């Protein structure tokens, strides 16, 4: 039996009601969306920025959503989920979300903490024989792995390590008595109505193994979900070519298949404090600290940073040469951005594992349009990302004169990163 989920039915109803009447695309006016003209204009501009970046980075398809004030404000697909068969990317397109799986693992672990079934300061060796075999019986705790501070000296050094994070699947299984995949389905995916999501691309390969949850209804939904899975692509020189899917399984580190609508339901459930209590979520969103009190960029399964007076809680996903993703929350503003892509171009250029989401041109565009403009009380013109680096810098220097002090430093840094990445990909292409 799965661990109980507080107010499960209420949250599912809330998520579904918030998703009804969703705005799809920029053709709908601000008045039709029930939004203020200012919000409608910001949505339209965000669409143009995302499309500009998608084309510049040669990403075949992106699906995007914005959640605001416990409602899905906007959702849209850009480009192609399957280039060869001319299948458009839509809000319902499923993607391998890669490391966006990690916040889901965090939720399961924090549920176990709330129920007194797990102490994060216990050794990993207690829960994972394989972890013990590979890394010894040393002082590495569950908390160290969950905060990416398991490298020497444990607890004092941040080093993003998705491989070690995957062993948290064993912690979930040992502490709960249920496999990670089963608990993910029963305590999150089913609990909040994430009906299009699939717990691993391989879930239907051995149906008897997952009989605890894989009844006929789940099997039909997973078949349909995998049928909507985008094809992966990679940038080869100046062009995009078909790639291969990442490993098909799932762990605490990666493997969930989902779309932006289902991820918006997860975002709504987090803010409704249904999956874990508010104070528990607050612990997950508290950055780890070094022995001398310095804040590190990662909490319990989430990146956490401050930017221009705003708290940013976020995660990215990056499967090289196949898929990438971004989930950015501003809890105090009740605002979130969700992006999924079928190449690695959403994440690869920006080295996000270091813990600074503002390096991302996608995140920076969203923050400029939805956060900085509101703080400054003035419009901030949007740059054209498709330009060469010198022309881009010249343009932002010119438009900065219209902003009353906004300098576009983050945009310039992001453009330099994406330009360097594109140049590297061209040089790496076979001749």
- pLDDT tens per residue, range 159-186: 999 999 999 999 999 999 999 999 999 9
What distance in Å separates the CA atoms of residue 37 and residue 30, rounded to the nearest whole number? 5
Instruction: Say whether pLDDT at 33 is over 60.
Output: no
Q: Using one digit for the tens of pLDDT, what is the confidence trace for 74-119?
A: 999 999 999 999 999 999 999 999 999 999 999 999 999 999 999 9
- What pLDDT, on the 0 to 100 scale, is given for residue 18? 52
Residue pointed to by tokens 């409608």: 40
- What pLDDT, on the 0 to 100 scale, is given for residue 137? 74
Q: How confident is the model at residue 22 (pLDDT cuts 50, 70, 90)?
A: low
Mean pLDDT of the chain: 92
The pairs formed by 176-181 with CB atoms below 8 angstroms and a separation of 24 or more are 176/3, 176/108, 176/112, 176/117, 178/2, 178/3, 178/212, 180/105, 180/108, 180/250, 180/251, 180/252, 181/210, 181/250
Chain center to CA of 342:
13
- What pLDDT, on the 0 to 100 scale, is given for residue 222? 98
Kindly state the helix (H) or strand (E) to which residue 75 belongs, with its residue range: strand 71-82
Q: How confident is the model at residue 429 (pLDDT cuts 50, 70, 90)?
A: confident
Q: Which of 226, 218, 221 is nearest to 255 (CA)?
A: 226
Q: Which of 198, 251, 245, 189 is nearest to 220 (CA)?
A: 198
Instruction: Say whether pLDDT at 31 is over 90.
Output: no
310-319: strand order across its sheet: 87-88, 71-82, 61-68, 335-341, 323-330, 310-319, 303-307
Residue pointed to by tokens 């994972």: 128
- What pLDDT, on the 0 to 100 scale, is given for residue 359? 98
Q: Using one digit for the tens of pLDDT, what is the confidence trace for 304-316?
A: 999 999 999 999 9
- What pLDDT, on the 0 to 100 scale, is given for residue 23? 57
Q: How confident is the model at residue 413 (pLDDT cuts 50, 70, 90)?
A: very high
- What pLDDT, on the 0 to 100 scale, is given for residue 268? 98
CATH fold, domain 8-428, is Beta-lactamase (3.40.710)
Instruction: Say whether pLDDT at 50 is over 60.
Output: yes
What distance in Å separates the CA atoms of residue 425 and residue 189, rounded to the nearest whole number? 37
CA angle 194, 218, 187 (to 5 degrees): 50
What distance in Å separates the CA atoms of residue 72 and residue 18, rounded to the nearest whole number? 6
Count the residues in the chain.
431
Q: How confident is the model at residue 29 (pLDDT cuts 50, 70, 90)?
A: very low
Residues 6+ apart with CB under 8 A from 344: 234, 235, 318, 319, 320, 321, 322, 323, 324
Instruction: Say whether pLDDT at 275 is over 80.
Output: yes
The DSSP 8-state label assigned to residue 245 in this structure reads: P
Q: Using one digit for the tens of pLDDT, what is the confidence trace for 192-230?
A: 999 999 999 999 999 999 999 999 999 999 999 999 999
Q: Using one digit for the tens of pLDDT, what is the confidence trace for 388-405?
A: 999 999 999 999 998 988
Q: Which of 43, 91, 50, 96 is nearest to 265 (CA)?
A: 91
- Which tokens in the block code for residue 211? 């009989």
Residue 70 region by backbone torsions, left for phi larger than 0, else alpha for psi between -120 and 50, else beta: left
Q: How confident is the model at residue 24 (pLDDT cuts 50, 70, 90)?
A: low
- What pLDDT, on the 0 to 100 scale, is given for residue 189? 98
Burial of 63 (0-12, 13-18, 19+ CB in 10 A): buried
Q: How confident is the model at residue 37 (pLDDT cuts 50, 70, 90)?
A: low
- What pLDDT, on the 0 to 100 scale, is given for residue 238? 83
What distance in Å separates the CA atoms of residue 93 and residue 81, rounded to the nearest whole number? 7
Burial of 35 (0-12, 13-18, 19+ CB in 10 A): buried
Instruction: Say whether pLDDT at 11 is over 70.
Output: no
- What pLDDT, on the 0 to 100 scale, is given for residue 7? 40
Instruction: Say whether pLDDT at 353 is over 70.
Output: yes
- What pLDDT, on the 0 to 100 scale, is given for residue 34? 41
The DSSP 8-state label assigned to residue 308 in this structure reads: T
- What pLDDT, on the 0 to 100 scale, is given for residue 38? 84
Across the strands, what pairs with 307? 310
- What pLDDT, on the 0 to 100 scale, is given for residue 430? 77
């Amino acid at each position: 039996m799965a661990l109980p989920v507080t107010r499960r039915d209420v949250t599912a109803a809330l998520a579904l009601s918030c998703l009804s009447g969703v705005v799809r695309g920029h053709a709908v006016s601000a008045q039709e969306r029930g939004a203020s003209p200012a919000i409608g204009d910001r949505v339209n501009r965000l669409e143009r920025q995302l499309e500009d970046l998608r084309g510049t980075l040669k990403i075949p398809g992106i699906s995007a959503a914005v959640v605001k004030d416990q409602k899905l404000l906007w959702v849209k697909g850009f480009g192609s989920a399957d280039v060869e068969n001319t299948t458009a990317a839509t809000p319902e397109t499923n993607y391998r979300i890669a490391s966006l799986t990690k916040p889901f693992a965090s939720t399961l672990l924090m549920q176990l903490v709330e129920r007194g079934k797990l102490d994060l300061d216990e050794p990993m060796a207690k829960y994972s024989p394989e972890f013990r075999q590979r890394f010894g019986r040393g002082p590495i705790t569950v908390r160290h792995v969950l905060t990416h501070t398991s490298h020497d000296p444990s607890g004092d050094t941040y080093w993003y390590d998705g491989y070690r994070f995957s062993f948290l699947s064993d912690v979930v299984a040992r502490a709960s008595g249920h496999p990670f995949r089963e608990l993910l389905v029963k305590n999150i995916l089913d609990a909040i109505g994430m009906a299009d999501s699939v717990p691993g691309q391989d879930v239907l390969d051995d149906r008897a193994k997952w009989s605890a949850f894989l009844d006929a209804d789940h099997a039909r939904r997973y078949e349909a979900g995998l049928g909507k899975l985008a094809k992966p692509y990679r940038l080869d020189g100046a062009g995009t070519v078909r790639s291969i899917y990442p490993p098909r399984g799932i762990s605490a580190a990666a493997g969930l298949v989902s779309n932006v609508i289902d991820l918006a339901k997860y975002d709504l459930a987090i803010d409704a404090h249904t999956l874990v209590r508010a104070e528990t979520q607050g612990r997950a969103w508290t950055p780890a600290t070094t022995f001398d009190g310095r804040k590190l960029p990662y909490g319990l399964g989430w990146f956490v940073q401050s930017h221009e007076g705003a708290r940013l809680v976020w995660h990215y996903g990056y499967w090289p040469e196949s898929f990438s993703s971004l989930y950015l929350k501003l809890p105090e503003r009740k605002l979130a951005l969700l992006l999924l892509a079928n190449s690695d171009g959403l994440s690869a250029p920006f080295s996000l594992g270091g813990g600074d989401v503002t390096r991302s041109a996608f995140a920076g565009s969203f923050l400029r349009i939805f956060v900085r403009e509101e703080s400054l009380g003035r419009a901030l013109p949007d740059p054209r990302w498709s330009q060469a680096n010198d022309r881009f810098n010249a343009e932002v220097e010119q438009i900065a004169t219209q902003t009353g002090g906004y300098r576009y430093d983050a945009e310039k840094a992001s453009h330099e990163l994406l330009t360097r990445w594109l140049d590297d990909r061209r040089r790496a292409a076979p001749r």
